[in-house]
């Protein structure tokens, strides 16, 4: 009786492995899979959301342009504040040094933001255009 039960278990296990192996290696899928970022975003969007995430009118472009505008405004304000601090320092070396640092850090912040913008455009352009820098990476 033990031999018959063991034989049934092994036969069932072998049949299961054979079916799984056949399905993995010999059955072709009957559906097309689109693995792009845009298709994933389209499947996750709500009814009232914008359909275009990338490109000149996309959500990412709008957010990036808004943040760059805010960054530009803040940096101009900080450069003006640094200039005013420099003018009213009255020759005090620590005040002059603080004013120069304010101007320097504002300029460094603008440079870092522009480089981050370039990197983000390159990465998004690489994913949306199938690689390379053509397309969204050069438009502003």
User: What whole-number percentage of the chain has pLDDT above 90?
Assistant: 20
What pLDDT sits at residue 135?
46
pLDDT at position 133 is 47
Rounded Cα distance, 44 and 121, in Å: 23
Residue 74 has pLDDT above 80, yes or no: yes
Q: Break the chain into its structural domains and give their ranges.
A: 2-128
Residue 117, C-beta contacts closer than 8 angstroms, at least 6 positions apart: 64, 68
Q: Mean of the per-residue pLDDT values for the chain?
A: 75
């Amino acid at each position: 009786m033990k031999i018959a039960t063991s034989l049934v278990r092994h036969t069932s296990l072998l049949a299961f492995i054979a079916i799984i192996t056949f399905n993995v290696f010999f059955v072709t899928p009957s559906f097309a899979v689109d693995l792009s970022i845009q298709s994933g975003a389209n499947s996750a969007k709500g009814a009232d959301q914008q359909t275009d995430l990338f490109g000149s009118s996309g959500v990412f472009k709008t957010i990036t342009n808004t943040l760059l505008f805010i960054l530009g405004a803040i940096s101009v304000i900080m450069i003006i504040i640094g200039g005013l601090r420099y003018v009213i320092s009255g020759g005090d070396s620590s005040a002059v040094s603080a004013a120069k640092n304010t101007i320097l850090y504002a300029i460094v912040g603008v440079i870092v933001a522009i480089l981050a913008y370039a990197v983000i455009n390159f990465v998004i352009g690489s994913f949306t255009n199938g690689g390379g820098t053509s397309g969204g990476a050069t438009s502003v």
